[in-house]
Structure 1
Amino acid sequence: MSKKKHYKHILLSIIDIIVTICLVAVLYLLVNQFVENTKIQKEYIKELNIYKTYNKQEEHSKYFEEKTQNMNIDYIDEPKKRITTKQDKSIKLDTNKSLPKIVIIIDDVTTLRQVNKIKNIPYPVTISFLPPTLRHKSSANISRQVMNYMIHLPLEAKVKKYEEEETLHIKNTLDQIDERIKKLKKIYPKAKYINNHTGSQFTKNDEAMDKLFRILKKYEYSFIDSRTTAQTVAQKYATKYDVKMFSRNVFLDNQVDKKYVEQQIHKAIKMAYKKGFAIAIGHPHDITLKVLTQSKSLFNGLNVVLIDDLR
C-alpha cells in the first residue's frame, strides 16, 4: 500500500471515530432529555390525580392557602402613612411617566398543568412556585420552563393544619433561615422575589422578621408581603435592611366564585388608577385562571407587568 493510500485510510478512520463520538454524544443528550421529560410527565400525572381528589372547590381552597380575616381586607398604602424607602420614591417617579401598572401573581404553583394554564392568559402573569415537597417534588424542575417567576416561601401560620414541609418558624435560628434561603437560591436560580405563603404568625414577629430580612439582603432578594395579617412588620425590616419590598393590595379569590373574582379584579384596577400601581394575588383555581384569561379588555389603559418590571 502506498503512503498516500495509507494516510487516506488513517484519515477516514479518524473521521469515522469522530462521527461515532458525535453520534454517541447526541444520543446521550437525547436519552437524558427523554428521561427528564418522563420524570416531569409522571409528576404531572401524579399531581393531576391529586387535583382530582380535591376537585370540590371548598376543599381545594383549603388545600392552597391559609384563611385569616385579614385576607379579606384590601390593602391601600396611603402615601402619608407609608414608611418610605428609596424604592418607594422611585415608584412614584415612574408612575408619573407611564400608564398605571398592575401586577398579577398566582401563588401555590406546583404543576405543569397549572403553568400551562397560566401561560394561556393573554397578558403577563407572575408565577410564584411553592418549594418542592414529597407531595409536589417537581416544582423546581418545572420552573425551568418559565422565564420570570417568584418563590412562594412557607412561613409559620397561626393554624398549622395545612402546613408545608420545611415551613420557617419564629423559633428558627439565623443559620437555619440562611440554609433554607440558600437552598432555594440554588434550585430557583432565576428568582429575584420571594413572597410569603401563609405566615400570619411569622410576619408579625419582630425577631423572626429581623432574621429573615437579614438573609434576604444577603442573597439579594426582594420581598412581596402577602399580608396574611394586618400586624405584619415586614415594612419595618425592609427599611432597616434596605430590602426592596411591595405589599399585596388585593386577593382575587378568597371566595372561589366567578363574580367575586371579577369584583376583585375591578378593585385592583381602581387601586392602580388611584396610586399608580397595584398588586393582586390569586391562586391556580380553575375559575380564577378562567376569569383572568377572559379579562384582557378590562386592563385597557393599564400596563400589566411582571413583578420584575415594577420599579
Structure 2
Amino acid sequence: MPGARNGQHIHGHGRRLMSPREVRGLWLTLLLLAPAMLQAQPRIAIIIDDLGYSRDAGVRVLQLPGPVACAFIPDAPYSVEQAEVAHELSKEVMLHLPMQPHAGARAHPHTLTVNSTSDDVRSVLNGAMLHIPHVVGLNNHQGSLLTERSSHMRWLMDAMDAYPHLYFVDSMTTPRSVALHSARAAHIPSARRNVFLDHERNTAAIHAEFGRLVRYAKRHGTALAIGHPYEETLAVLERRLPSLKREGIVLVAVSDLIHTRTAQRGDQDWRVSLRLGDAPTAITPDRMLQAAN
C-alpha cells in the first residue's frame, strides 16, 4: 500500500503518522492523567462569614463567581432566604456557629459558652440545623475562648456525629485552638483556615492577603481563606476571582479542598460525598429580589 510500511502510516513528506491504535492509546493516557493533572493545580477555597444580616451584602456574595462558601449566622434575619439561594447556585451553605471569645465581642443568641453543657451544645446545634437549610459544613464565629476547651470541642464533634454529611472548619481565632484536633479525633472531615483576608479592613491590605493566599496555595497545593461581607473585601474578590485561572489557581468548594487534604494525608475518614444538586443556576432578578427581601 503506498504511504504505508509494516503497518505504519507514512506522511507524504516522510514523517510517520500515528496509527489509530496509537491515537486511542494516547487518548486513554490523557484521560487517565487528566484528574492527576487537575489535582496538581493549586487549589483555594474561600468562606464568607457573618452572612444573614445584610440584604445587599448577601446579594453581592451570592453574585461572586465560583463555589465561594456562604457561612450564615443562625438567627440573622436573612439567613434562611439567602441560604436557599446559595444552595440553588451550588454554593456550599455553612453554619457560622457563635462561640464565646475571650473578651470584647457582643454575644449572639444561643452562643456556646464555657458554661454550656454537652446537652446545651447538642441542643444549640440541632436548633441551628433545623433553622438553616442545606447546611453541609460548620465553622466557629469568634470562639477564641471556647475553641481552647477540649471538653466543649469534643461535645461539639459528638453532636456533629448525628449529621454525617457535615464537615468542620476551624476559623483559628486563637493559635491555641484544639478544634481541628478534636474534629480529626472524632473522624469529622475538617480543615483549618490558612489566611484571614480582612483582618485589616482596607483594600490594600486585603489585596495583599489575597496575594498571600495564592502564594500559599502554590507552595502547599491548597489554601483556605476566610473573609467577611465588607465592602472592601467584596470589591477585592470581585476583581481578583476572575483572574485566578490566569494565575494557574483553581477555586474549589470547601468540601473538595477538605477531600484533597484528606487524600494527601492518606486518611480515609471522609464519610460521604456532598451532593449540592445540579449545575449552577443563573441568578435571575426574581431570585435576587427574594434574597433581598
TM-score, normalising length from structure 2?
0.70
Please show how residues 100-249 of structure 1 align to structure 2 within 5 Å.
100-110=42-52, 111-132=54-75, 136-147=76-87, 148-220=92-164, 221-249=166-194
CA contact (8 A) 2:84 2:133 kept: no
Aligned to 1:23: none
Shift in Å, 1:94: 7.1
CA distance in 1 between partners of 2:39 and 2:234 (Å): 31
Cα distance, 1:113–1:95 mapped onto 2, change above 3 Å: farther
Read off the aligned partner of 1:130 and give its amino acid letter.
Answer: I
Q: Secondary structure at the match of 2:225?
A: strand
Read off the aligned partner of 2:64 and give its amino acid letter.
Answer: I
Residue from 239, 252, 263 that aligns with 2:208:
263
RMSD value over aligned CA atoms?
Answer: 1.8
Q: Secondary structure at the match of 2:159?
A: helix
Shift in Å, 1:122: 2.8
Q: Which segments of 5 or more consecutive residues in structure 2 lack a partner in the other structure?
A: 1-34, 260-293
Aligned to 2:237: 292
Instruction: Pick which of 111-120 and 177-186 moved more.
Output: 111-120
The one-character-per-residue Cα deviations of 1:104-123 (angstroms, maximum 9, x if unpaired) are: 11100113322210133233
Higher helix share: 1
CA distance in 1 between partners of 2:42 and 2:179 (Å): 25
CA contact (8 A) 2:100 2:112 kept: yes
CA contact (8 A) 2:45 2:224 kept: yes
Shift in Å, 1:219: 2.0
CA contact (8 A) 1:95 1:101 kept: no
Shift in Å, 1:298: 4.2
Shift in Å, 1:126: 1.1
CA distance in 2 between partners of 1:94 and 1:166 (Å): 44
Cα distance, 1:178–1:229 mapped onto 2, change above 3 Å: same
Shift in Å, 1:303: 0.8
Read off the aligned partner of 1:151 and give its amino acid letter.
Answer: L
Aligned to 1:302: 249
Aligned to 2:225: 280
Q: Secondary structure at the match of 1:200?
A: coil
Cα distance, 1:291–1:158 mapped onto 2, change above 3 Å: same
CA distance in 2 between partners of 1:95 and 1:233 (Å): 34
CA distance in 2 between partners of 1:141 and 1:298 (Å): 29
Aligned-residue identity in percent: 29
Q: Secondary structure at the match of 1:192?
A: strand
Q: Which segments of 5 or more consecutive residues in structure 1 lack a partner in the other structure?
A: 1-92
CA distance in 2 between partners of 1:242 and 1:252 (Å): 28
Shift in Å, 1:299: 4.7
CA distance in 2 between partners of 1:294 and 1:269 (Å): 14
Shift in Å, 1:96: 7.9
Q: Secondary structure at the match of 1:165?
A: coil
Aligned to 1:74: none
Cα distance, 1:95–1:178 mapped onto 2, change above 3 Å: farther
Read off the aligned partner of 1:240 and give its amino acid letter.
Answer: A
The one-character-per-residue Cα deviations of 1:19-61 (angstroms, maximum 9, x if unpaired) are: xxxxxxxxxxxxxxxxxxxxxxxxxxxxxxxxxxxxxxxxxxx
CA contact (8 A) 1:152 1:194 kept: yes
Aligned to 1:84: none
CA distance in 2 between partners of 1:126 and 1:273 (Å): 21
TM-score, normalising length from structure 1?
0.66
CA distance in 1 between partners of 2:69 and 2:36 (Å): 20
Read off the aligned partner of 2:70 and give its amino acid letter.
Answer: I
The one-character-per-residue Cα deviations of 1:141-175 (angstroms, maximum 9, x if unpaired) are: 33111112111110110015422111001221111
CA distance in 2 between partners of 1:266 and 1:197 (Å): 24
CA distance in 2 between partners of 1:197 and 1:185 (Å): 15
Shift in Å, 1:97: 3.2
CA contact (8 A) 1:95 1:277 kept: no
CA distance in 2 between partners of 1:158 and 1:137 (Å): 26
Shift in Å, 1:206: 1.2
CA contact (8 A) 2:45 2:223 kept: yes
